[in-house]
Amino acid sequence: MDSQIVDEPLVEAANLVMAFDTVRALEGLSIKIHPREIYGLLGPNGAGKSTTMKIVAGLLEPTSGTVRVVGYDPARNPVEVKSQIGYVAENPVMYESLSPRDFFEFIASVRGLDVRTANRTVEQLVTAFDMGQYFDSPIATLSMGTKQKVAVIASLIHRPRLLLLDEPLNGLDARSSRILKDMLSLHAQGGGAVLFSTHIMEVAERICTRIGIIYSGRILAEGTLEQLRQMAGGNDVTLEEVFLKLTNEEAEVEDTMKTLREAFFTDDR
């Protein structure tokens, strides 16, 4: 029997609604994420990916619905949840007057980590992501990609069971992207889980063991890539084609391209 079915889910959200004044970011979203899964939350900008991440991380409390993370309600048991998650926001906020070294020491202290163990972990991660030359520079002076590396390393220091990564490859160079993707696979193989938000089809296709297509605050379809292809009517379609079919945007894209061809690529310009 598949162990993913037996194991208790690390994330279990049911009928989540999130309203901001007159805007409803989530409309009854439900997901479960088990150990050994890399769950890709795939959708366009504004679909509700970041809102879902923030609710799971305990940064937002849903208007209605329930959520359990490692067995706890993140809004009511924030310490228990945050001790077992690593979170990279879409736009990470860090103490930019600190250097990465100082920032990592601060993170380790807040999390109550053994200093020697934390230092060894940080050293390994800094080497892996090739940012030793920036280790003592103020974070404010770093490039966007290097800041993203700092955020990723900070999420990994305490070796959490659950990683919440909101567009984590933003700004990363090819080498660092590959290392992070390989680390996520190792994390899942070791019994952890990953909730991975992206709007890039190729990323979801390559690293996610299961994908939820989110659109207008709802999960429209969910499954492995093969299962999603079957839902879209074929084994040979790309994930991009699956997405457009399941969100009913395929005809809209074709109409848009027809208009653009007539406007820009005709001989009577």
pLDDT tens string 23-67 = 899 999 999 999 999 999 988 888 899 999 999 999 999 999 999
What percentage of the chain carries pLDDT values higher than 70?
Answer: 96
CA distances from 157 to 114, 216, 260 (A): 11, 34, 49
Provide the CATH number for the domain around residue 266: 3.40.50.300
Specify the pLDDT at position 175.
93
- Decide if 187 is inside a domain: no
Indicate the average pLDDT of the chain: 89
User: What's the whole-number mean pLDDT along residues 259-265?
Assistant: 80
Q: For the residues of 211-233, what is the DSSP string, one character each?
A: EEEEETTEEEEEE-HHHHHHHHT
- Decide if 146 is inside a domain: no
d(CA 159, CA 260): 49
- Decide if 25 is inside a domain: yes
d(CA 201, CA 238): 9
- Decide if 229 is inside a domain: yes
Indicate the DSSP class of residue 47. S
User: What's the whole-number mean pLDDT along residues 160-179?
Assistant: 93
- Decide if 53 is inside a domain: yes
Number of domains in the chain: 1
Show the domain range for 31: 1-84+199-206+214-269
Instruction: Indicate the pTM of the whole model.
Output: 0.88
Specify the pLDDT at position 5.
43
Q: Kind and range of the H or E element at 104?
A: helix 100-110
Specify the pLDDT at position 268.
58
Q: How confident is the model at residue 269 (pLDDT cuts 50, 70, 90)?
A: low
d(CA 187, CA 166): 17
- Decide if 183 is inside a domain: no
Residues 87-122 pLDDT 10s: 999 888 889 999 999 999 999 999 999 999 999 999
- Decide if 140 is inside a domain: no
- Decide if 62 is inside a domain: yes
d(CA 154, CA 38): 20
CA distances from 129 to 48, 191, 240 (A): 30, 23, 30
Pairing state of beta strands 210-215 and 38-42? parallel
